């Protein structure tokens, strides 16, 4: 049995198509879906970072919102901080299983993350106080949504 297993592992390692070999082995044993493709999460994070940075820059160009960003690098830094805060908030939702409680408070949570981003990043300023935070967080959400939908249509 060990010799047979070692031969199979060697064949798998030397094969040009290890996924096909795994599928064949699973078919012989009756297993379902032996190879599950994992999404490329790094590419997804980079895509989200770029979209968020563009969204921050776009909302800084809308005068009534009252957001100032000094440079494109600052927009990227804002996207990194906002994304990190978003990851923490999503993990807290998952950990405590309180998504249904946070759903009505999603805007308040988004506003808090927007405000913390303002505190952390020096070249990012909110001029209109709480109204700027409210308008900025809503505008950021809308612009991110539109950019993602536009990219999905193009590609």
Distances (CA, A) of 81 to 34, 90, 109: 38, 14, 14
Could you read off the pLDDT tens digit of each residue along the chain, which spans 155 residues?
444 444 545 454 444 554 554 555 555 655 555 444 556 777 877 888 888 898 899 999 998 898 999 999 999 999 999 888 888 877 777 776 666 665 567 778 888 888 999 999 989 999 988 999 999 988 888 888 888 788 777 65
Tokens 């993990």: give the residue: 91
Per-residue pLDDT at 115: 92
CA torsion sign for 122, 127, 128, 133 is negative
Helical (H) or strand (E) element with 67 = strand 67-69
Per-residue pLDDT at 144: 82
Per-residue pLDDT at 23: 56
Per-residue pLDDT at 24: 59
Residue 53 in contact with residue 75, Cβ under 8 Å? yes
The distance between the two most distant Cα atoms of the chain, rounded to a whole number of Å, is: 73
What pTM value is reported for the model?
0.65
Per-residue pLDDT at 77: 92
**Residue 25: both structure tokens together:** 């082995």
CA distance 32 to 37: 14
Per-residue pLDDT at 155: 56
Per-residue pLDDT at 26: 57
Beta bridge partners, 69, equal: 124
Distances (CA, A) of 45 to 19, 49, 89: 26, 6, 16
Domain ranges, ordered by start, for the chain: 1-37, 41-154
Per-residue pLDDT at 145: 81
Residue 11 in contact with residue 21, Cβ under 8 Å? yes
Beta bridge partners, 68, equal: 125
Per-residue pLDDT at 150: 80
Residue 5 in contact with residue 12, Cβ under 8 Å? no
């Amino acid at each position: 049995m060990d010799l047979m297993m070692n031969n199979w592992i060697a064949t798998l390692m030397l094969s040009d198509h290890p996924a096909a070999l795994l599928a064949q082995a699973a078919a012989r044993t009756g297993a379902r879906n032996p190879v599950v493709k994992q999404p490329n999460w790094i590419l997804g994070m980079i895509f989200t970072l770029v979209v968020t940075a563009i969204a921050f820059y776009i909302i800084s160009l809308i005068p009534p919102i009252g957001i100032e960003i000094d440079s494109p690098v600052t927009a990227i830094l804002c996207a990194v901080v906002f994304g990190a805060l978003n990851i923490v908030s999503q993990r807290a939702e998952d950990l405590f299983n309180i998504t249904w409680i946070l759903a009505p408070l999603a805007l308040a949570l988004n506003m808090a993350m927007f405000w913390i981003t303002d505190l952390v990043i020096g070249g990012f300023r909110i001029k209109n106080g709480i109204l700027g935070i409210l308008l900025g967080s809503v505008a950021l959400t809308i612009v991110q949504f539109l950019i993602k939908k536009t990219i999905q249509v193009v590609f």
